[in-house]
Structure 1
């Protein structure tokens, strides 16, 4: 069995043990609830480094946590007493503007990605926070501003470099390891260490959009109008509904700082001069009390909320796919949403339609193509003494609205650590096939620190 000393000779990245330089820094993940102490942290510089770490963890019988952006709400990017494979040094992005593709390192964030692609006037569906890892978001599905026009992030995954549980580095594409490519498109981190991804790009440069804030009293009308319009709006229009405790920003009247609003956050990716007309139905619902809407570079919108989600903030999430939004469900949202406890806490409804809905339920591992929305309820706070109050708000809210979701499943990237038993429902109609692929590439379930799929 490989020793740590031998592992150091096999990798070029730093191998950090407890007490070593940078240990406390590099064991941290984004969610401050997870203060774990791995036995070893290896900061990979290549697929070869990743392969050596996979072999070491497998032979030693240790837990293996694979970290890209580190944004996993359940803290899957770290562990106690095991090995952390930190991919963050693998953050290069190489753009081919002719083929309209980008090859992305497994440790790159959407900020890294957008910085590289925007200069060419290109983008693909990323998340809402630019510090999120490209790999983790894409492997779990990938819902964001561009979903309706460009599909999910995983729909744009055309190839990958993967280190599987046997330590082999595999080139994955439409004509090699097709079953593995299928599974990577929504099957999360169950099948190996993805050290590089190849993503299709789209012509998106300047968007027109931003947040519109309304009074809580108008929320029933806003939710109903949002639900009606976003089902048939032009696909270049991305938007989500949420709650927002007003931060002290210049576009919000000073006497309203700290008040709760309901919000629609918009992103029109068609011709910018058509943007105002595209979002006009949202303006017609009710009086807009504050807004920051206009033409802007797509990366500016994709990073607009980064400040609310600093590294180390404590988090608790629960989620569902939603197939309908009846009046009784809206009433339950009105009972709990305005009680959002902090400026970063919220409930969001992300539409899963347009280009994303045209992909067949079995064509990728992301099987919930019939969902109307991906709903997430998340609390975010700093003082450890506030843990109980914040998690209680999420649980109470979720218990009230879950009966109206019309499904038992939820988006895996929004799942908390206490929802592991929901994996069969979360993966939905693709779960059994995913178990077969898991048995092929990871029969021993080495990659189990994730929303886990049991090998067949």
Structure 2
């Protein structure tokens, strides 16, 4: 039988009783469904499936294996490496986006296709929250399973620290539930191992009381950066765990609190979050409030609103990387600030320093996330529109990483990077953890069906 006839026959079998959409390049909805967040990634899947339940996820995987198609799993489509799309089969989870809150138990069950915005808006009416990503359109599944760094991490831990259960469809189509007491080795692996072990169709997360969140955006001209960065470093070193945020060089937007001379210009911004009332927050933030900033937004605001403050529209080309620093001395401060040059950075990139510590650094050996013991994270977040800037953007990110190497821990949060080679994947987990993860991979995905990710090779 010719291969094309076999393909048509198998696809027709898949369509029977499939309640979600199955799209091929001839379908009108194919082009609007295909794009992912990073405009550098432009692939054309043979088939896009949009299942509505776990059984349909399993059927899609079975079809992809039968046809020998590379399988990509799409949650929010934010993988900077383009792991959310392949030229083969895409299992697009956007219909599995339900969010169910149990306020009494302080838990939330989140569908594998839900976004951070879906999660935050569902928990907010109950004055409850958990650590979410810093961009509201990010998919919850990939974010949590990769570790989950966000504004509230110093207070509430990483997102995966709050993971209570995962329901997973394996490469063989089995539905597996992993908790601390059931399939516990798989559960351990899902704290950072990403999508290597199957398709997460739902995740249950712990929630924390969040009756108030105060956020400050303080702005300075870029030449004030070294002084501000030193002050910010010292401020964080003395700050309670309720304080989070980051020091960010970015382009000033057309907002009422942005000084006219910084609109459309590079600015140095301290974003400070505080899990409490504004009056207490002002006292805690006093060292930063006295530095003569020229732009200010400081108010209690809903967490869901804070989560979308730095959202960037889709359609930009993206290149991200990261280094985790054990210390951030004056020499590192100067090098960091020197790379915030609008003649070097592609626009509208963000040049970011995140503090860790607090709850992030506790139980650092519990899960395969060695980067969490570092004090700081430097995150060049490249965004631009002109393909002619591709080489410049990558060079800027790599130069910043090289500048920071003397103080770097060597580990890396894999959600922050694209494809940077095998050594960086191992550095994301640590060598011993990687070997243990490879054994879990061999049990649940021995054929490496789920390989379009920061891939863990199955142990022999």
TM-score range, shorter chain: over 0.9
Matched, 1:323 2:326: yes
Distance 1:394 1:300 in 2: 29
Query: 1:100·1:202 contact (CA, 8 Å) conserved in 2?
Result: yes
Matched, 1:359 2:363: yes
1:18 match = 25
Query: 1:161·1:169 contact (CA, 8 Å) conserved in 2?
Result: yes
Query: 2:113 aligned to 107, 111, 120, which one?
Result: 107
* 1:58-137 mapped onto 2 (5 Å cutoff): 58-80=65-87, 82-137=88-143
State the SS of the aligned residue for 1:241: strand
Shift of 1:149: 0.5
2:293 match = 288
Higher deviation after alignment, 336-345 or 249-258: 336-345
Distance 1:367 1:17 in 2: 41
Matched, 1:447 2:455: no
Shift of 1:343: 5.1
2:254 match = 248
Q: What do residues 40-95 of structure 1 show as CA deviations (whole Å, max 9, x unaligned)?
A: 00011111111111122223222110000001101110012x10000011111000
Shift of 1:328: 2.0
Distance 2:348 2:363 in 1: 33
State the SS of the aligned residue for 1:213: strand
Give the unaligned 5+ runs of structure 1: none
Moved over 3 A (4+): 340-344, 418-421
Give the unaligned 5+ runs of structure 2: 1-5
2:351 match = 347
What TM-score do you get using the length of structure 2 for normalisation?
0.94
Q: CA RMSD of the aligned region, Å? A: 1.7
Q: What do residues 17-51 of structure 1 show as CA deviations (whole Å, max 9, x unaligned)?
A: 11112111111101111110011000111111111
2:3 match = none
* 1:30-429 mapped onto 2 (5 Å cutoff): 30-80=37-87, 82-284=88-290, 286-306=291-311, 309-339=312-342, 341-342=345-346, 344-361=348-365, 363-401=366-404, 403-428=405-430
Query: 1:124·1:201 contact (CA, 8 Å) conserved in 2?
Result: yes
Distance 2:17 2:147 in 1: 33
Query: 1:69·1:109 contact (CA, 8 Å) conserved in 2?
Result: yes
State the SS of the aligned residue for 1:446: coil
Distance 1:351 1:88 in 2: 32
**Cα distance change on mapping 1:221 and 1:68 into 2, 3 Å:** same
Q: What do residues 403-437 of structure 1 show as CA deviations (whole Å, max 9, x unaligned)?
A: 23422221100111234541111112522211111
Distance 2:347 2:116 in 1: 23
Shift of 1:387: 2.5
Distance 1:346 1:404 in 2: 22
Higher deviation after alignment, 172-181 or 119-128: 172-181
State the SS of the aligned residue for 1:333: helix
Distance 1:369 1:303 in 2: 24
State the SS of the aligned residue for 1:227: helix
Matched, 1:9 2:19: no
Distance 2:356 2:18 in 1: 42
